[in-house]
């Protein structure tokens, strides 16, 4: 507690911090709390998800707010209902004995109760943009006098298309407020928003390398080459291979999330679905079950999974390939938290391989190819698990009734003891060790047998391009080292280069994205033999 005590916090706040079991501030807390207490400028705080960002802005804000002010003093915007509830609960626990009222308002529930709560001299409102705007339009919420505006998970807020809503909300506030934005990543859009509405601001970051956002560096990352139709079979194998399987599985569509869950349930695995069709009541029930490990497999879409914060999540599985590198980072950032180990698994179909290599190159991660588990590997794993559990349960203190039953079975059987025990195991284990319950998975051949790929570039001598300039241009645009760009042939109107296969896929995908629907500047050469 020494570092907290040296920050100049009140006894009430220190007692609240101690009651929560906080011994030492996290990196973002240590940097942000003194800064905000000193009354410095607006702040963009960047830190990994799960590192205590709520306390980083909540502690100094609570210190500064007045008791019985009679108006809303602070507004916290969150992208999801789940996060609004989490932040509200955290702030309420941090205020200690200080007489501040904190409420959360979000969609999917009755607005009438929220209106009644807003009439009770609320000090801090935590809410989602849509429902905040509903109250502003109804005149049931007044934020014209707020001292603090906090935009939490700002990158996700923008990803979810809330930028116009956020700007509308800001227009209803005053010019003297402090604006605080907290985010795991700081894309250019956030800087633009800050310049427009924050005036002078400081960036405080605990992430030294933007390519290592969230837990990308800490998580073990692997991928499987797999046909689309074989994905569910691979997922079942991975589940059966690990007795302590605890995973968040991402799909890109609601339909697919339900299909995957149904297939798992048919196979004997309990799974829940979290997508846009799930009601607020159901969402809270599902999330609570998942956090308590009563359900160990949660199938979710990106939007539905916003705000999920679980420290001990063992696996994040990209059943569907993320749309972009940012989504990949957001997804796998949910594992390997708080010093725990975690594994991020990505399923990649042959058609998606180029896109996957682009993501891999963009995030700067070492994502290793994994071997698909054999059926024999899974059966052996189950056998070892069953054997271990049985041996561990063996005891001289076993009740007499079980010993008598065992004796009767052995005496009544015409077979030897080994065969009899085997029959008992088969009866109770049913098809647990049946190899026929697993479908075969087709081998995916490598995308190309070529050591190098020849690329066509729509730039030539007429564009003042030399071999050196062309290599430097490709390196600058794609991040692929110019050392890998060889056999450069610059002609009058176009050029050719040779690069290793995987690097070529990154280059092609990068220029495809940059073309925005137009003909890409770089394409695969039609005749690879030249």
Q: Give pLDDT, residue 338.
A: 59
Would the pTM of this model clear 0.85, i.e. be above it? Answer: no
pLDDT band at 283 (very low <50, low <70, confident <90, very high): confident
Q: Predicted confidence band at 266 (pLDDT cuts at 50, 70, 90)?
A: very high
Whether residue 449 is predicted with pLDDT greater than 60 in this model: the reply is no
Cα–Cα distance measured from residue 396 to residue 206, given in angstroms and rounded to the nearest whole number:
56
Per-residue pLDDT at 295 exceeds 60: yes
Q: Which domains does the chain have, with CATH numbers?
A: 2-208 (3.40.50.300), 220-373 (3.40.50.300), 376-437 (no CATH), 452-524 (3.30.70.330)
Mean pLDDT of 400-425: 88
- pLDDT at position 8 is 85
**Per-residue pLDDT band at 362 (split at 50, 70, 90):** confident
DSSP string, 440-493: P-PPPPPS---SEEEEEES--GGGT--HHHHHHHHHHHH---GGG-EEEEE-SS
Between 236-250, 298-312, 359-373, the lowest mean confidence (pLDDT) is in 298-312
The number of CA neighbours under 13 Å toward the Cβ of 324 is 4
Q: Is the pLDDT score of 208 beyond 80?
A: no
Contact assessment for residue 26 and residue 45, using Cβ atoms and an 8 Å cutoff? no
Q: Which of 320-334, 408-422, 436-450 comes out lowest in average pLDDT?
A: 436-450
In order, the DSSP letters of 94-132 are HTTTS---EEEE-TTS-HHHHHHHHTTT-SEEEE-HHHH
Q: How confident is the model at residue 166 (pLDDT cuts 50, 70, 90)?
A: very high
Mean pLDDT estimate for the chain = 88
Residue-level pLDDT at 209? 47
| Beta carbons of 146 and 72 less than 8 angstroms apart | yes
Task: Quote the Cα angle for 85-86-91, to 5°.
Answer: 100
Which two structure tokens, joined as six digits, stand for 293? 């490990």
Work out the average pLDDT over 92-100: 92
Q: What is the pLDDT of residue 446?
A: 60
Provide the pLDDT for residue 339.
Answer: 60
Whether residue 125 has pLDDT greater than 80: yes
pLDDT at 243 over 60: yes
* Per-residue tokens: 350: 């042959």
| Contact present, 456 and 494 (Cβ < 8 Å) | yes
Mean pLDDT of 447-458: 77
Q: Between 218 and 49, name the one with better pLDDT.
A: 218
Residues of the chain with pLDDT > 70, as a percent, come to 94
| pLDDT tens per residue across span 51-89 | 788 999 999 999 999 998 999 999 999 988 888 998 999
pLDDT at 1 over 70: no
The segment with the largest mean pLDDT, out of 108-117, 152-161, 319-328, is: 108-117
Q: 481 in the Ramachandran plot: left (φ > 0), alpha (ψ -120 to 50) or beta?
A: beta
pLDDT range class, residue 307, cuts 50, 70, 90? low
Q: How much helix, strand and coil, in percent to the nearest 5, is found in the chain?
A: 45, 15, 40
For residues 272-277, average pLDDT: 90
């Amino acid at each position: 507690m020494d570092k907290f005590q040296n920050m100049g916090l009140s006894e009430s706040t220190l007692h609240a911090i101690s009651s929560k079991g906080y011994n030492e501030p996290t990196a973002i807390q240590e940097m942000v709390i003194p800064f905000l207490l000193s009354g410095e400028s607006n702040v963009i705080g960047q830190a990994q998800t799960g590192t205590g960002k709520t306390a980083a802005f909540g502690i100094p804000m609570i210190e500064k707010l007045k008791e019985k002010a009679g108006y809303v003093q602070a507004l916290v915007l969150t992208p999801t209902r789940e996060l609004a509830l989490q932040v509200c609960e955290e702030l309420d626990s941090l205020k200690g004995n200080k007489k501040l009222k904190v409420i959360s308002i979000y969609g999917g529930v009755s607005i009438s109760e929220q209106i009644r709560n807003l009439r009770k001299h609320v000090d801090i409102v935590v809410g989602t943009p849509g429902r905040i705007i509903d109250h502003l339009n109804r005149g049931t919420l007044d934020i014209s006098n707020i001292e603090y505006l906090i935009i939490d998970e700002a990158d996700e807020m923008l990803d979810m298309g809330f930028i116009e809503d956020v700007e509308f909300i800001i227009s209803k506030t005053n010019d003297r407020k402090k604006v605080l934005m907290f985010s795991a990543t700081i894309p250019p859009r956030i800087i633009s928003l800050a310049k427009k509405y924050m005036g002078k601001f400081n960036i405080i970051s605990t992430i030294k390398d933007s390519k290592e956002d969230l837990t990308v560096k800490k998580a073990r990352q692997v991928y499987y080459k797999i046909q689309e139709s074989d994905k569910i079979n691979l997922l079942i194998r991975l589940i059966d291979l690990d007795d302590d399987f605890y995973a968040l599985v991402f799909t890109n569509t609601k339909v697919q999330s339900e299909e995957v869950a149904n297939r798992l349930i048919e196979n004997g695995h309990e799974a829940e679905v979290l997508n846009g069709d799930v009601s607020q009541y159901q969402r809270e029930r599902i999330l609570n079950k998942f956090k308590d490990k009563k359900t160990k497999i949660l199938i979710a879409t990106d939007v539905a999974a916003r705000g999920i914060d679980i420290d001990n999540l063992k696996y994040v599985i990209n059943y569907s390939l993320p749309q972009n590198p940012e989504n990949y980072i957001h997804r796998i950032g949910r594992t390997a938290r708080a010093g725990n180990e975690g594994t991020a698994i990505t399923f990649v179909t042959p058609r998606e391989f180029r896109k996957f290599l682009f993501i891999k190159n963009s995030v700067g991660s070492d994502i290793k190819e994994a071997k698909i588990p054999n059926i024999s590997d899974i059966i052996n794993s189950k056998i070892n698990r069953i054997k271990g559990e049985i041996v561990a349960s063996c005891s001289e203190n076993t009740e007499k009734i079980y010993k008598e039953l065992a004796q009767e079975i052995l005496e009544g059987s015409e077979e030897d003891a080994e065969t009899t025990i085997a029959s008992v195991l088969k009866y109770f284990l049913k098809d647990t060790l049946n190899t026929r319950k697993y479908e075969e998975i087709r081998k995916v051949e490598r995308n190309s047998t070529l050591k190098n790929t020849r690329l066509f570039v729509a730039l030539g001598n007429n564009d003042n391009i030399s071999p050196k300039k062309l290599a430097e241009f490709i390196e600058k645009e794609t991040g692929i080292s110019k050392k890998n760009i060889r056999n450069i042939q610059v002609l009058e109107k176009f050029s050719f280069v040779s690069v290793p296969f995987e690097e070529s896929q990154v280059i092609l995908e990068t220029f495809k994205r940059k073309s925005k629907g137009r003909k890409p500047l770089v394409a695969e050469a039609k005749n690879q033999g030249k």
